A and B are shown apart, each in its own frame.
Chain A
């Protein structure tokens, strides 16, 4: 175990110096290789936000939108029905039993089906039809729900990305998590509350007329500015979908912050017609079920542009314009988990973490030196090499270092010496019975090998499982722990062993041995 071929020695130190080279990339900005250990949100400050979309309202909405085409299909094919009812999850109706088969054939027609879309991706229909005596139920099929959900999630991610890009945070991460969630990581943001507000808003904008009588087809909404209760028509004149742009501006007369919007051609035409027909009436501008403002239509607006004023602050008008530009989320979104760390706490954590790392490291080095003298020195050199290799590998894979990750490094420092201790203790035992020193070292390394591997594999198992199940900062701990075990084995069995062999082979009389 003590003989090394030249090639092996070169290879060992080549690996070590490569690792040291990569580790040194973290020291200063260089333009050669852009690799660096990233700091986790807990160290550099920032927000981790987990969002969950709520597709229930969307399902209802989509089901509602089917009503007209379902009724049309039934009427066109002379299928008489009664008790047509829409509940949150299904449409139910009563149809003569004899007609059930006919309905079924129409409903599951593959080509040009206006009601039930065939999803070729899954080879299934969007809607399901179930019968119970003369009752018929229409509801989304499992695959219909899946495709609805996926489309909504994809669209939501797109819109959230637009909103975040608009705010201008650096290097945001926006990822899909599972089938209903979106993970947003925003390193180093100044105002997490503002971003949260922007993310959580559905931003469904509608223009609707204020009606005089509160009958069917109208609803009561609150005007946010004055808490006035308004009766607003349910019919939407135009919606946010017709918007092509929105910008914050100052009103030239009152100098109040306002939002200037531009409509697309279709929207402009519609808006022009409605405002022409309803001069003198009030038009409610509704955002997510609250009326922002309800100005009186003084004259026809045919240019396709308009303004919204609602007693905003400048920040509010900027945010509203941003929301309108990015579009409405297809479904409401809720924040289900949030972790925000301020930059000063992050810095404190780095300072404390690094300080405790250095102190722990020095304590272990002193201890090892006093315990094993020259071989303690060898073990310490391999420990330092170990540390460099850890940082080097973390740099190569561009891992994210978190506070628990730093703890993982410190822990590795404490546990890394274990391999060397196991080996040296074994050699000590061998020296008691073995006369040849070289032989004692040889068997010592050999016999300890199995134990060292066994001992490290168990810790590696824990690290892997932690990596799979851990989330956020804890994952960082698993990464450093796992890498630490690998580099520990390398430094104990190659670097320390090589250094030991150099000492032993040059000192056959055993001058240095005082294990």
Chain B
């Protein structure tokens, strides 16, 4: 790849775009919030398969007009006859509840019903799970920060962490905008995104550091340009192979993995973008030059 792309030309534009995206995401997260699944909100989730494939979603919905369930949410899930039902009631307050509900539904829609999956999470456990999820993400960010701080200089550490936070906020923001359900597997996805985005950033930072030592007269942005270009084909190839694997899960991996793989796909795209357009410019803002590296080595 001989033709060079002057990425630094777009840094300013990209940064304004990123800041806007982060602000919009935060606004959405603040005002609209996330669509928490039963893992974090508590309640009951049922995945059901109806023998009679002609049953329409409205029929099922009207069969579920049982006041004690609370807010009921029904949606199609994969093939015809498969539905996902969520309601607020904790089904385990009464041990017979699930059996009774199954009979009620099958009587009302006049078809046999198979409960393929039942998940019930009590209010206490769900709030614990949410706390755990947030702690895990925060801890992962802190651990990454620490690792980069040891391996590089603090400016790099800051650059990568800004990129990471940027990725996490925008991913969650998109989840909020699309009202995509957030559950335990999304936390796993976000953590993997953190790992992936970091991975991407580190590769570019490694090269920037190497080039800073190689070229003493160039400006930070020029070094960033050279480095991003040198690593560009790797960035593209790795993103491509990862996306190939992820799309294969998204399309073929079944309904349960859809949310997870969707989050990962978003994360890989945002993470790749942020390594180039967020992490690298930060170094320029902190005026990282050869001197920065040498000074730190003296200490």
Contact = CB atoms under 8 A, between A and B. Distances in A.
B133 interface: yes
A334 B124 CA distance: 12
Interface residues of A, number: 74
16 contacts: A335-B120, A342-B114, A352-B257, A355-B253, A360-B248, A371-B237, A404-B188, A418-B234, A422-B238, A458-B144, A459-B198, A461-B195, A462-B144, A466-B188, A471-B184, A477-B188
Given A363-B248, A411-B246, A457-B147, A403 B256 contact: yes
Contact of A470 (B96, B120, B136): B136
Nearest to A425: B234
Given A364-B245, A371-B237, A459-B196, A469 B254 contact: no
Contacts of A182: none
A414 B245 CA distance: 5
Nearest to B232: A425
B192 A339 contact: no
The 7 closest A-B pairs by CB, nearest first: A414-B245, A462-B195, A352-B254, A360-B248, A469-B136, A414-B242, A459-B195
Contacts of A341: 116-117
Contact of B116 (A334, A344, A473): A344
A314 to B, nearest CB: 17
Interface in B182-236: 184-185, 187-188, 191-192, 194-196, 198-200, 202-203, 206-207, 210, 230-231, 233-234
Contacts of B254: 348-349, 352-353, 356, 403
A465 interface: yes
B151 to A, nearest CB: 6
Interface string A444-470: 000100110011111111110110111
Contacts of B202: 451, 454-455, 458
Nearest to B146: A461
Nearest to A470: B188
B257 to A, nearest CB: 6
B125 A359 contact: no
Interface of A: 42, 50, 52, 192-193, 196-197, 200, 334-342, 344-345, 348-349, 352-353, 355-357, 359-361, 363-364, 367-368, 371, 403-404, 406-407, 410-411, 413-415, 417-418, 421-422, 425, 429, 447, 450-451, 454-463, 465-466, 468-474, 477-478, 481
B86 to A, nearest CB: 14
A200 B196 CA distance: 44
Given A342-B114, A359-B248, A451 B185 contact: no
A429 B195 CA distance: 27
Given A340-B117, A465-B140, A474-B187, 17 more contacts: A197-B95, A334-B92, A335-B120, A336-B121, A340-B118, A345-B116, A368-B241, A414-B241, A415-B199, A417-B238, A451-B203, A451-B206, A460-B195, A465-B139, A465-B191, A470-B188, A473-B185
Contacts of B187: 470, 474
A423 to B, nearest CB: 10
Contacts of B251: 356
Q: Contact size class for B?
A: 35 or more
Contacts of A344: 114, 116
Contacts of A450: 206
A356 B151 contact: no
Contacts of A345: 47, 116-117
Nearest to B94: A200
A300 to B, nearest CB: 38
A352 B253 contact: yes
Contact of A461 (B124, B144, B264): B144
A414 B119 contact: no
Nearest to B204: A451
B91 to A, nearest CB: 8
Interface string B274-286: 0000000000000
A455 B199 contact: yes
Contacts of A414: 241-246
A461 B194 CA distance: 10
Contact of A356 (B91, B132, B248): B248
B135 interface: yes
Contact of B245 (A192, A410, A463): A410
A483 to B, nearest CB: 14
Contacts of A50: 125
Given A352-B254, A463-B195, A474-B187, A339 B140 contact: no
B235 to A, nearest CB: 9
